[in-house]
A and B are shown apart, each in its own frame.
Chain A
Amino acid sequence: KAGVTQTPRYLIKTRGQQVTLSCSPISGHRSVSWYQQTPGQGLQFLFEYFSETQRNKGNFPGRFSGRQFSNSRSEMNVSTLELGDSALYLCASSDGTSAHNEQFFGPGTRLTVL
């Protein structure tokens, strides 16, 4: 099976711009979660989508949004970028059907906001 893929791998934007990141989960996985990783903060949960519906949400401002398509691919959008949004954004897919599902991570998108 192909793993989780994320595009693009690297991105440079300026403050005030918006950005869309894409994640393709492992075939058959219906759950996609997004995380932000910054130095010293670990992985901070953004949101999880399951069957096109947001199932869980972390404590991020409304500038961060996402969606999931019928083929389980997911996109994450950040509007009005701030310098503090510079981070590695990781998505993870899982089967999502039981309480304890292992998550498989993609390589991440490195976003730099100038």
Chain B
Amino acid sequence: DQQVKQNSPSLSVQEGRISILNCDYTNSMFDYFLWYKKYPAEGPTFLISISSIKDKNEDGRFTVFLNKSAKHLSLHIVPSQPGDSAVYFCAASEAGNQFYFGTGTSLTVIP
């Protein structure tokens, strides 16, 4: 059973516009969420995280929003750049236990 879901396998956005990547989860006990970015032939690299005590965390062009009642989080990238083209994974964990990853969303930023 997939406890973390990314229902959009791919997303295309024009350079300079906003990219919004979505993630849904089923376990209400998850208390820590992360986003990773993955380029081909490389391992995922950490992008941004959020604890369940917050509903927003911002780091430069990247902002993660958490809606606990909807069990939904999203990653906003503004403005999008061609170098942002990659596969993005969201992940969640409960009390420091294993991380559950989504299936990923492939983002293409069109110059």
The answer to whether A and B come from one shared complex is yes
Name the interface size band of chain B. 20 to 34
User: How many angstroms between the C-alpha atoms of A98 and B49 in the bound complex?
Assistant: 15
Is B25 positioned at the interface, with any CB of A under 8 Å from its CB?
A: no
Name the B residues within 8 Å of A20 (CB-CB): none
A79-110 Cβ-contact flags toward B at 8 Å (1 or 0): 00000000000101000001111111111100
Say yes or no: is A56 at the interface (Cβ < 8 Å to chain B): yes
Contact between chains at A100 and B45 (CB < 8 Å): no
Interface size class of chain A, counting residues whose CB lies under 8 Å from the partner chain: 20 to 34
Q: How far is the CA of A102 from the CA of B43 in the complex (A)?
A: 14
A42 → B minimal CB distance (Å)? 4
Q: A105-B44, A106-B43, A107-B42 are in contact. Are A45 and B98 (CB under 8 A)?
A: yes
State the A residues within 8 Å of B (CB).
Answer: 4, 33, 35, 40-45, 48, 56, 58, 90, 92, 98-108
